[in-house]
């Protein structure tokens, strides 16, 4: 077994760096930490080559070929205001911080089915076949490696492309060998792992998850409380590779993973991509709280017909998703601070598997609010969304930002990257700290982190200086 690196969490270092924003070059002595340049290829490794993964990879290739635009991606289209409103400095984020370019991305993945990315994308039915035909040679060249899979954790599916091993530690070693082989064959200088596989059954942490020592013992003993996603996470973090989790499984939300992440300077972040209904929830709920409008009930239901919908039809997998979706309101509305407004909310989330809709989910929300003197009102939201179209730009941004974190002395040894909460239904924080779910606080946190790294003033929106 390869040895684990024992480097201490990075401390903040003040160094001289050159501001790279065009036309604004200046020596910046306030930058926090050095950022290594994004040199060479960035390898993206994806457990789960289904609808989200193929929509992401096909999308990157389509954008590279000039066939489409990276709509929805903060790293590609977003800007960041610097200095005062009157300064007129709003560079693109990708020009402000050194991110990998789309041309630098190379891909691999694991799946329990043997379909290559072209076949998997065709089956997923998200992208138009005319676009897929133009990408066929590229997508067909990405074939899944054999997966680490346990049917007990995903009851609705089974497939032939699965690794065999004497123990879970043996499976972890096989994944580590895959990671090293891909790094060599692709010539990538850096790697990222992005879980886009099915949602696993609900479990809670046990003693096995509390430290690296107990986890490794449990891997050797085939402890049933170690889910496949944890084996991928362990393998990645042991190889010093950052890990993001698109599904609501526990996976890296465990003391063992935080320990490994810090030790090996392999950043981790939240879980479960914040795409459709929860995105709307984390936009509307802050508006109610801002105006002190009360909430008595929020009923959310979905119809969804893709494989994800089928997997979530199993009560164990649904429970994992339900926990993730239910958490957001409590943290945004803070019923302990506002008991008359939010102390008695009926919050229900349903997901119904309905094959005719495929990936084109429909999410309904019925929201019962109350205003002045307690008078009730209702809001209905009907979001006819495309799940994977909303998820793909999130995957891209997380890949590029996690790679930035890994190259940044200020961030790489911190473990959890709370500044990436923006992308998740269940953001991760250190134990004892409540997560921020409000989308606009999350966006401010993200952009302020970038400003902080580059030694720019944080934006507080105070604005008194304009009236001096």
Residues that bind ligand NAD (CB under 6 A): 47-53, 110-113, 124, 147-149, 154, 157, 159, 196-199, 228, 246-247, 272-273, 275-276, 306-308, 311, 387-388, 390-391
Distance CA(457)–CA(30), nearest Å, equals 9
User: Minimum Å distance from CB 79 to ligand NAD?
Assistant: 25
The half-sphere exposure of 415 on its side-chain side, counting CA atoms within 13 A, is 19
Q: Which is nearer to ligand NAD, 198 or 261 (CB)?
A: 198
User: Minimum Å distance from CB 95 to ligand NAD?
Assistant: 29
Q: Are 63 and 70 in contact (CB under 8 A)?
A: yes
Q: Which is nearer to ligand NAD, 322 or 456 (CB)?
A: 322
Q: 319-354 burial, b for 16+ CB within 10 Å, e for fewer?
A: bbbbbbbbbbbbbbbeeeeeeebbeebebebebebe
Residue nearest ligand NAD, Cβ-based: 50
Q: Which is nearer to ligand NAD, 51 or 295 (CB)?
A: 51
User: Minimum Å distance from CB 209 to ligand NAD?
Assistant: 18
Q: Are 229 and 251 in contact (CB under 8 A)?
A: yes
Q: Which is nearer to ligand NAD, 115 or 410 (CB)?
A: 115
User: Minimum Å distance from CB 123 to ligand NAD?
Assistant: 8
Residue that is written with structure tokens 């465990």 in the block: 254
Distance CA(33)–CA(406), nearest Å, equals 12
Q: Which is nearer to ligand NAD, 274 or 454 (CB)?
A: 274
Q: Which is nearer to ligand NAD, 149 or 401 (CB)?
A: 149
Rg for the chain, CA atoms, rounded? 22
Q: Which is nearer to ligand NAD, 391 or 453 (CB)?
A: 391
Q: Which is nearer to ligand NAD, 275 or 449 (CB)?
A: 275
Distance CA(374)–CA(366), nearest Å, equals 18
Q: Are 383 and 280 in contact (CB under 8 A)?
A: yes
Coil, helix or strand at residue 227: coil
**Number of CB atoms found within 10 A of residue 177's CB:** 12
User: Minimum Å distance from CB 90 to ligand NAD?
Assistant: 29
User: Minimum Å distance from CB 114 to ligand NAD?
Assistant: 10
User: For residue 223, how far is the Cα from the chain centroid?
Assistant: 27
Distance CA(21)–CA(28), nearest Å, equals 12
Residues 6 or more apart whose CB falls under 8 angstroms from that of 115 comprise: 49, 123, 144
User: Minimum Å distance from CB 400 to ligand NAD?
Assistant: 19
User: Minimum Å distance from CB 265 to ligand NAD?
Assistant: 25
């Amino acid at each position: 077994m390869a040895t684990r690196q024992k480097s201490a969490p990075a401390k903040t270092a003040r160094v001289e760096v050159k501001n790279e924003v065009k036309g604004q070059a200046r020596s910046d002595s306030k930058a926090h930490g050095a950022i290594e340049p994004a040199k060479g290829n960035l390898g993206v490794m994806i457990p789960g080559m289904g609808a989200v993964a193929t929509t992401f990879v096909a999308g990157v290739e389509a954008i590279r070929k000039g066939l489409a635009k990276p709509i929805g991606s903060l790293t590609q289209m977003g800007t960041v205001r610097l200095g005062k409103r009157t300064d007129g400095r709003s560079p693109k984020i990708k020009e402000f911080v050194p991110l990998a370019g789309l041309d630098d991305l190379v891909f691999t993945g694991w799946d329990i089915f043997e379909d290559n990315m072209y076949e998997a994308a065709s089956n997923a039915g998200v992208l138009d076949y005319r676009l897929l035909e133009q990408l066929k040679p590229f997508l067909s060249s990405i074939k899944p490696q054999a997966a680490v899979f346990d049917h007990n954790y995903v009851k609705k599916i089974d497939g032939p492309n699965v690794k065999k091993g004497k123990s879970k530690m043996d499976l972890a070693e096989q994944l580590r060998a895959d990671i090293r082989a891909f790094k060599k064959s692709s010539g990538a200088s850096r790697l990222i792992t992005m879980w886009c596989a099915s949602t696993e059954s609900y479990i809670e942490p046990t003693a096995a998850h509390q430290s690296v020592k107990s986890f490794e013992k449990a891997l050797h003993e085939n402890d049933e409380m170690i889910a496949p996603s944890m084996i991928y996470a362990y393998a990645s973090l042991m190889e010093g590779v950052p890990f993001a989790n698109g599904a609501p499984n526990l996976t890296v939300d465990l003391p063992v993973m935080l320990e490994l992440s810090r030790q090996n300077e392999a950043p981790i972040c939240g879980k479960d991509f914040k795409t459709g209904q929860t995105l709307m929830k984390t936009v509307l709920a802050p508006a109610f709280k801002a105006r002190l409008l009360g909430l008595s009930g929020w009923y959310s239901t979905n119809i969804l017909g893709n494989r994800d919908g089928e997997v979530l039809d199993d009560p164990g997998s649904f429970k994992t998703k339900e926990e993730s979706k239910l958490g957001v309101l409590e943290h945004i509305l803070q019923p302990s601070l506002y008991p008359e407004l939010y102390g008695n909310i009926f919050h229900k989330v349903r997901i119904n598997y309905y094959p005719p809709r495929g990936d084109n989910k429909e999410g309904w929300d019925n929201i019962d609010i109350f205003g002045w003197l307690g008078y009730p009102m209702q809001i209905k939201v009907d979001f006819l969304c495309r799940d994977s179209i909303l998820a793909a730009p999130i995957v891209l941004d997380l890949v590029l930002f996690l790679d930035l974190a890994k190259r940044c002395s200020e961030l790489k040894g911190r473990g959890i990257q709370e500044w990436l909460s923006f992308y998740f239904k269940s953001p991760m924080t250190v134990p004892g700290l409540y997560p921020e779910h409000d989308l606009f606080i999350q966006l401010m946190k993200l952009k302020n982190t970038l400003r902080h790294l580059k030694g720019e003033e944080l934006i507080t929106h105070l604005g008194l200086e304009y009236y001096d």
